Structure 1
Amino acid sequence: MALCVALLIASEFMPVSLLTPIATDLHATEGMAGQAISVSGLFAVVTSLAIASVAGRFDSRRVLMVLTAVMLASLLLIAWASSFTMLMAARALLGVTIGGFWALATATVMRLVPARDVPKALGVLYTGNAVATAFAAPLGSYLGALIGWRGVFLALVPLVGVTLLWQGVSLPSLPPRAARPVGKVFALLKRRHVAFAMVGVMLTFAGAFSAFTYFRPFLESHTRVSVPQLSLLLLGLGVAGFVGTSGAGVLLGRRMDALLRWLPLALAAVTLVLLAVGHVLWAVALALFVWGAVNSAIPVSWSTWLSKAIQDDPESGGGLLVAAIQLSIMLGGALGGALLDHVSIGATFVGAAVLLGAASLLVGDGARIKPLD
């Protein structure tokens, strides 16, 4: 599952490091190319809300394998895209896997390991996230210059094929449980702590991806980096993900509320620092490392919150959490692209910081996102 997560994250966010060549090849603006990430988020939202109902009728092992096969098909279509419309359609297909797999991930982990090991198992799962963040963007940037952006996506195809075979061998049968209607997912929003948490999730991820999606245009226009420098900067950003994931794993047992409150505020501050030191290469490199460490701690923190705050229905809770995250990625990417195209990259980063600051204020001391006794 961690390997599939790594490839899923790599597939979802690879356009970040290939934004400029994709836009040039398909005759689109960089802001439009950024919507290739946003459209996958839209379809991930729909799938994450519906997957609990579908998965409740089938063996979860088979559902996860079908979703992985859909990712394989989407990568082939992305590599063969002859127009911006075809690219968006292929990315929409990828969104189906993103929404379905992530929505089932926490609930599946809860079925695979004892309750006491769930936070540790989630940390292992998110190691796949850190690996992809560490290597996908810099490798995408570097290989894109050698074999083209289409070749980069084709290179992922055999890896996904191996993952699909490995799932068939390693995952045990996970018999279906009672089907959960879509309405049950939305019913969770009637719980006060869940409703507040989902707003906090959306503000956090929208702010993060308003900035993250457009790092390459920022680094090219402000820092004036070459392709090798861009690859190294993105590698540093990704390697920092291991630091953030490990640090969150250590602190989550006793500092979960504090992490959910202060991580977005710290990310907002570093985003503004990036803008301030954008012309100084070494300072940008340091800021990107800190940004990557802080950002990588956020998803595992919210997944741990889910395992504690919605223990009675993790499948529906997982669908709701993923829907909130993917919707915010879509909206954040769209907002960042609009600000980039119509104002400036500076406006994109400031807008991201405002959203992140609002998330920190909403979470507060954590009382709003705790279940009522």
Structure 2
Amino acid sequence: MTTVDTPVPATGGRSPVRGWLAVLAVTLGIFSLMTSELLPVGLLTPVGAALDVSEGTAGLMVTVPGLVAAVSAPVVTVATGHLDRRVVLVILIGLMGLANLASAFATGFAVVLAARFLIGVSVGGFWSVAGGIALRLVPAEHVPRATAVIFGGVETASVLGVPTGTVIGDLSGWRTAFATVGVLGLIALACMLFLMPKVPAERTVSFAELPRVLKGDAGVRAGIAITFLVITGHFLAYTFVRPILQDDGIGDHMIGALLLTFGIAGITGNFIAGALVAERLRQTVMGIAVVLTVAMTLLALVDTDAVTAGAVLILWGLGYGAVPVTFQTWILDAAPEATEAASSLYVSTFNLSIALGALFGGFAVDGLAVTSVLWIGAALAVLALLVPVALGRQERDHDSG
């Protein structure tokens, strides 16, 4: 998460309570943004049917914002380098809210894609700026916890935002789901306006730092490769989990509940990984790859009903829920002297992988079969498993040499 802020803690005179309220406002903003980016995962079928496009084409609703966010993360940060960070965050969250409301009233798929483009700008820019904002809001001793809370917004959106949006869509229609997220973003905007102090820009991370970090550290390169493989594989399959479940004969009324089960398992996976990464980081990364491989393979092989599908989605959720905290920790540990530049690469890779997963998953669904995305996703997870193995071998060769 490329940050424009210097590592200066919040001023001693500022109320910790006011600072924490500001942190919660930012967390609500990033939760609504990430939920917005991933919301179409649970709504592909009804949106495609309503706007007369195939499920593969509807997957562009995930591809477009992911691609745009991958670019906008560094670009927005550098372009707004002299603006108050509160102003930047407010503008970006407002843009997201209006874009979702436009989607809710869209009469054609082109309007939805234009709105999804604007959401990509918002997601990339907001995440990159918000990544280091806790440093400016709370006293120094509270910064680690405040940062964890903000990133918890990303995690919670990933594992709970989509299922909740799907449930809303099933009960009241997909337009209501988009409108709900848009209104949530506008509520976050109001909270930031009233609860955040001014946060003047201090400095920016230059574009020149990014290739230097990637070229100079094998650990960063490995972390970026693992992120690319796991996130691409996950979203290649998970974007189309609704039609996969429908092909197994599971009714629409059950899919929202199953995705909510996935989300609850994901929160559990996050806590499990949080307890493991300090001492067993590499093993946790490899465990994630194994769990995701097994889950996708089982869903492809087993003729599921609601119970067996729920069991597989619990396993899948445990694996994916562990991803953000584990991969972010890997990147920060690999580049302790260049955390801002390394994290910006991680944000761009994460969002690019979401986009590519949804894009190529759409090609596979339209050109092969719905279940093909599970096999491809599992194959990418297996490749991710090999990266830390290769890195360990390289480190041993270096030490022995």
TM-score by length of 1: 0.91
Does 2:360 align with 1:335? yes
The answer as to whether partners of 1:45 and 1:326 remain within 8 angstroms in 2 is: yes
Alignment of 1:249-268 (within 5 A): 249-268=274-293
Q: d(CA) in 1 for partners of 2:55 and 2:207?
A: 36
1:5 Cα deviation from its structure 2 partner: 2.3
The answer as to whether partners of 1:123 and 1:245 remain within 8 angstroms in 2 is: no
Alignment of 1:345-364 (within 5 A): 345-364=370-389
**Which residue is 1:191 aligned to?**
216
Match of 1:293 among 304, 307, 318: 318
Q: d(CA) in 1 for partners of 2:263 and 2:127?
A: 20
The answer as to whether partners of 2:230 and 2:384 remain within 8 angstroms in 1 is: yes
Match of 1:204 among 206, 230, 236: 230
**Which residue is 2:54 aligned to?**
29
Does 2:285 align with 1:230? no
- Other structure's SS at 2:208 match: helix
Does 2:133 align with 1:108? yes
Deviations 1:93-135 (A, max 9, x none): 1001111122233322455567776664444234324443454
Distance 1:180 1:119, change over 3 A: closer
Q: d(CA) in 2 for partners of 1:264 and 1:218?
A: 21
Higher helix share goes to which structure?
Answer: 1
Q: d(CA) in 1 for partners of 2:311 and 2:151?
A: 23
Distance 1:142 1:19, change over 3 A: same
1:308 Cα deviation from its structure 2 partner: 3.0
Q: d(CA) in 1 for partners of 2:101 and 2:390?
A: 46
Alignment of 1:116-265 (within 5 A): 120-193=145-218, 194-222=220-248, 224-265=249-290
Q: d(CA) in 1 for partners of 2:393 and 2:101?
A: 44
Q: d(CA) in 2 for partners of 1:333 and 1:116?
A: 40
The answer as to whether partners of 1:130 and 1:239 remain within 8 angstroms in 2 is: no
Deviations 1:147-169 (A, max 9, x none): 32112111222221111111123
- Other structure's SS at 2:128 match: helix
AA matched with 1:209: F
Q: d(CA) in 1 for partners of 2:180 and 2:46?
A: 17
Distance 1:274 1:326, change over 3 A: same
Count of aligned residue pairs for this structure pair = 371
AA matched with 2:78: S
Q: Which runs of 5+ in 1 are unaligned?
A: none
Q: d(CA) in 1 for partners of 2:321 and 2:80?
A: 28
1:209 Cα deviation from its structure 2 partner: 0.6
The answer as to whether partners of 1:138 and 1:235 remain within 8 angstroms in 2 is: yes
- Percentage of identical aligned residues: 31
1:228 Cα deviation from its structure 2 partner: 2.1
**Which residue is 2:67 aligned to?**
42
- Other structure's SS at 1:257 match: helix
Q: d(CA) in 1 for partners of 2:188 and 2:311?
A: 34
Distance 1:278 1:116, change over 3 A: farther
1:256 Cα deviation from its structure 2 partner: 1.8
- Other structure's SS at 2:198 match: coil
1:333 Cα deviation from its structure 2 partner: 1.1
Q: d(CA) in 2 for partners of 1:221 and 1:333?
A: 19
1:306 Cα deviation from its structure 2 partner: 3.2
Q: d(CA) in 1 for partners of 2:335 and 2:141?
A: 16
Q: d(CA) in 2 for partners of 1:122 and 1:291?
A: 26
* Structure whose alpha-carbon radius of gyration is higher: 2
The answer as to whether partners of 1:38 and 1:333 remain within 8 angstroms in 2 is: yes
1:274 Cα deviation from its structure 2 partner: 1.5
Distance 1:20 1:280, change over 3 A: same
TM-score by length of 2: 0.85
Q: d(CA) in 2 for partners of 1:201 and 1:118?
A: 25
Q: d(CA) in 2 for partners of 1:368 and 1:28?
A: 48
The answer as to whether partners of 2:217 and 2:335 remain within 8 angstroms in 1 is: no
Relative to structure 2, which stretch is displaced further, 101-110 or 156-165? 101-110
The answer as to whether partners of 1:339 and 1:347 remain within 8 angstroms in 2 is: yes
Deviations 1:184-242 (A, max 9, x none): 323322223222321221111101111110100001012x1222211110110111121
Relative to structure 2, which stretch is displaced further, 277-286 or 111-120? 111-120
Distance 1:83 1:325, change over 3 A: same
AA matched with 2:224: M
Relative to structure 2, which stretch is displaced further, 175-184 or 199-208? 175-184
